[in-house]
């Protein structure tokens, strides 16, 4: 059996569809975000990154960087083991306390990534709560889908952000234990869930509420607790899941909830038990980032201003982008080949990096450039990006938005 031929044939099909993914080889520059060096074909060029999930540039914040450096010098690099076997460091516990406080919960639990925290938490809840049904929003992230699938629990998919459909399907489930799983900010369309209505429906049916705030923590609420904090609903959510790898600028995932819930996941989740703990320096840096964003409004305010400016420029130019109330600007292309081509031209000719988003991340026919302005993108950066997109829209014969 020629296994490499099997691999090559499927990769060739992916390339023919325009959905083969290429990675930009970047070298981020501390203190110069969103600038980076792009390594390509033996040459190095300076580019501006417009698609980073380091939404607030906290990965370069002096306090965050110094916290990591200080902790490395004090504790070394790795944790030295799983949390269960020698890997629990004092910095992990400090961070978990900070996260619990951020969301107004009794406890928190760290994971190696947001993907793992969703997968581990949902799979554990679904597999160990007898006869449970998980009702999952149709737009949920792959990590949530995999967690539900791995749990082998019965699942029901409800229409995206449609709390009335959720209500009907909760009625149909009857008296069985139920978990309602959804997100606050959906990362590809940038839309925000009607959290109040969803929670009201879930609670009326006695369901446990599970929300993914990955793209919202640090970004919304007076202390960066996410959309649930902004809307005063955090206390009505049983489990709030988040990440340290986006607005907080580090890496890792977490859940927060009651002491019993977090201890339950800690004790039974294979994705927690059998993996090496986060390096203590990562935990120290994340703690510094969270503490800063609990009190500082500067980064969030500046970021909102730059998002509004770019949206206004795109509107004036007729560049189609999805309307939403979040910080994510999806510029719609609708063709995988053109999406890849536009991304390549932006990088090569304009020094702009925006990754093309194709299937399976988004449905076929909805390919896009997902733009995430930061507090550190200048007005000149916005002008440069808008002019580049306008030129490429003409060059690639793409449709303009109707005013």
Catalytic residues: 246
Q: Which of 63, 60, 54, 50 is nearest to 30 (CA)?
A: 60
- What is the rounded distance in angstroms from the CA atom of residue 201 to the CA atom of residue 217? 24
CB 70 within 8 A of CB 387: no
- 91: buried, middle or exposed (CB in 10 Å: 19+, 13-18, 0-12)? buried
CA distance 56 to 53: 8
Residue 374 neighbours by CB distance under 10 Å? 22
Distance CA 268, CA 85 (A): 15
Kindly report the length of the chain: 403
- How do strand 154-158 and strand 133-137 relate by DSSP bridges? parallel
Full DSSP string of 154-198: EEEEE-TT-HHHHHHHHHHHTTS-EEEEEESB-TTT--B--HHHH
Q: Are 124 and 264 in contact (CB under 8 A)?
A: yes
Query: Checking phi first, is residue 326 left (phi over 0); if not, alpha (psi -120 to 50) or beta?
Result: beta
- Kindly state the DSSP code that residue 243 receives in the 8-state scheme: E
Strand partners, 142: none
In whole angstroms, what is the distance from residue 111 CA to residue 113 CA? 6
Beta carbons of 378 and 369 less than 8 angstroms apart:
no
Phi and psi dihedrals of 122, rounded to 5? -70, -40
206 phi-psi bin (left φ>0, alpha ψ -120 to 50, beta other): left
Q: Which DSSP symbol is given to 360? A: T
State the CB neighbour count (10 A cutoff) for residue 328.
22
């Amino acid at each position: 059996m020629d296994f490499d031929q099997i691999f090559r044939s499927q990769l060739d099909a992916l390339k023919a569809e325009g959905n083969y993914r290429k990675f930009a080889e970047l070298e981020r520059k501390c203190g110069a975000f969103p600038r980076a060096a792009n390594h390509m074909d033996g040459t190095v060029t300076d580019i501006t990154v417009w698609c980073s999930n380091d939404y607030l540039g906290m990965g370069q914040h002096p306090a965050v960087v110094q916290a990591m450096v200080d902790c490395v010098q004090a504790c070394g690099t790795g944790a030295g083991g799983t949390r269960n076997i020698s890997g629990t460091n004092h910095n992990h516990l400090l961070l978990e306390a900070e996260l619990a406080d951020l969301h107004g919960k009794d406890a928190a639990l760290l994971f190696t990534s947001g993907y793992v925290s969703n997968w581990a938490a949902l799979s554990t809840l679904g597999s160990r709560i007898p006869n449970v049904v998980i009702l999952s929003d149709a737009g949920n992230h792959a990590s949530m889908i995999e967690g539900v699938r791995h749990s082998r629990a019965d699942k029901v998919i409800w229409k995206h952000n449609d709390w009335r459909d959720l209500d009907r399907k909760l009625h149909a489930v009857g008296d069985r234990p139920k978990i309602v799983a959804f997100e606050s900010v959906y990362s590809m369309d940038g839309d925000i869930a009607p959290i109040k209505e969803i929670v009201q429906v879930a609670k009326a049916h006695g369901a446990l509420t599970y929300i993914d705030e990955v793209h919202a923590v640090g970004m919304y609420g007076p202390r960066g607790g996410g959309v649930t904090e902004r809307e005063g609903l955090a206390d009505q959510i049983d489990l709030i899941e988040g990440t340290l790898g986006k607005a907080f600028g580090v890496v890792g995932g977490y859940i927060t909830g009651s002491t019993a819930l977090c201890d339950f996941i800690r004790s039974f989740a294979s994705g927690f038990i059998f993996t090496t703990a986060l390096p203590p320096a990562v935990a120290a840096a994340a703690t510094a980032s969270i503490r800063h964003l609990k009190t500082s409004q500067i980064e969030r305010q500046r970021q909102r201003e730059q998002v509004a400016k770019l949206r206004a420029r795109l509107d004036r130019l007729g560049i189609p982008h999805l309307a939403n109330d979040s910080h994510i600007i999806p510029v719609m292309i609708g063709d995988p080949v053109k999406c890849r081509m536009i991304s390549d031209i932006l990088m090569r000719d304009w020094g702009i990096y925006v990754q093309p988003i194709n299937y399976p991340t988004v449905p076929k026919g909805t390919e896009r450039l997902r733009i995430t302005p930061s507090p550190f993108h200048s007005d000149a950066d916005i002008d440069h990006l808008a002019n580049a997109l306008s030129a490429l829209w003409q060059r690639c014969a793409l449709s303009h938005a109707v005013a």
